[in-house]
Amino acid sequence: MQGKGLLGELINSLCCLPGIGPKSAQRMAFHLLQRDRQGARRLSDILTKAVNEIGHCRQCRTLTEKELCDICANPAREQGLLCIVESPADVWVIEQATAFRGHYFVLHGRLSPLDGIGPDELGFDELEARMRSGQLQEIILATNSTVEGEATAHFIAELARKYTIPASRIAHGVPMGGELEYTDSGTLMHAFSGRREI
């Protein structure tokens, strides 16, 4: 009975949000309709606009509504320093957490032969063109520390070696404030092999 109607449709489509189950979707729908119609209207307007206008930066391939994203368009950022990441979300978190002042290149994935994702799907031709241009002084590999992320980082490191561009991998280890007891064995192995003199 109640499952039908516009309210039911709204609850259903809120369920498409990650981490939102039926209970949370209900709470959201009632909150928006009962207490915050202005916020709901603003959200629907911005969502429509975002879906229609946001594409990929022609240089770094991150999400932006412009041809060239704010980072690529910023002359204050170091052109020669390139950080390679798997997704636009990674750009966002690195910008928030670090003082990195270089540029990015977004792969939109990682090498995964079984899923048919090879160098062509990840924009390696564009990446190699930038290496060839002679503008890059350093490459930072910030792909995820999964098997595929590691393989992707190594593949790009090989490519960089061809053009004699120094490439580094971000450090992996026990998280700051993390306890050894609760650290998984892969991370702990990494932390040991990556140990540095103090």
Decide: is 84 part of the binding site for Zn ion (CB under 5 A).
Answer: no
Decide: is 75 part of the binding site for a second copy (CB under 8 A).
Answer: no
Backbone phi, then psi, for 117, in 5-degree steps? -100, 105
The angle formed by the CA atoms of residues 69, 74 and 78, to the nearest 5 degrees, is 115
Residue 19 interacts with which of Zn ion, a second copy, none, CB < 5 to 8 Å by class? a second copy
Q: Distance (Å, rounded) from C-alpha 137 to C-alpha 143?
A: 19
Question: Pattern 27-56, binding to a second copy, x per CB under 8 A?
Answer: xxxxxxxx-xx-xxxxxxxxxxxxx-xx--
Decide: is 17 part of the binding site for a second copy (CB under 8 A).
Answer: yes
Alpha-carbon separation of residue 76 from 70, 101, 172 (angstroms): 11, 8, 29
The angle formed by the CA atoms of residues 69, 72 and 75, to the nearest 5 degrees, is 125
Least distance from a second copy to the Cβ atom of residue 83, Å: 14
Question: Pattern 105-144, binding to a second copy, x per CB under 8 A?
Answer: ----------------------------------------
Binding site for Zn ion (CB under 5 A): 57, 59-60, 69, 72
